Amino acid sequence: MNFDKDLDARGLNCPLPILRAKKALNDMTGGQVLRILSTDPGSVKDFAAFAKQTGNELLSSAENNKEFEFYLKRK
């Protein structure tokens, strides 16, 4: 999947992946896609909730070898 910005949140724990993602989204424009890599198992539910609450669309959420990959489309 194509993305406009990449955020490596691997090794970071709650709530840093969400806070860093929010910060990255702030620098982007509507419709742009942010890819996030994370190792925090809690981030799967957290990113779903974050998307629901903020209106940014979670395009995909996948796990690969204990690493999580999210694609968020900025509102």
Partner 1 sequence: MGAIPEIASIDELIQRRLDEILPQRIEQAMQAREEGRTPSMTIIATKGTLDWAYPPFILASTAAALGWDVKVFFTFYGLNLLKKDISDLKVSPLGNPGMPMKMPFGPDWFKSLNWNIPNLVQAGIPGFESVATMLMQQTIKNNGVASIDELRSLSQEADVKFLACQMTVELFGFNHDDFIDGLDFVGAATFLPEAAKANVSLFI
Active site residues: 14
| Type of residue found at 14 | C
Least Å from the CB of residue 11 to partner 1: 5
Which of the ranges 6-14, 27-35, 57-65, 66-74 carries the binding residues for partner 1, by CB under 8 A?
6-14
Q: Is there binding between residue 44 and partner 1 (CB under 8 A)?
A: no
Amino acid (1-letter code) at residue 36:
I
Report which of 73, 53, 29, 19 is spatially closest to residue 9, judged by C-alpha positions: 19
Q: Scan for tokens 């970071």, then name that residue.
A: 12
Q: What are the residues binding partner 1 (CB under 8 A)?
A: 11-16, 18-19, 21-23, 40, 50, 53-54
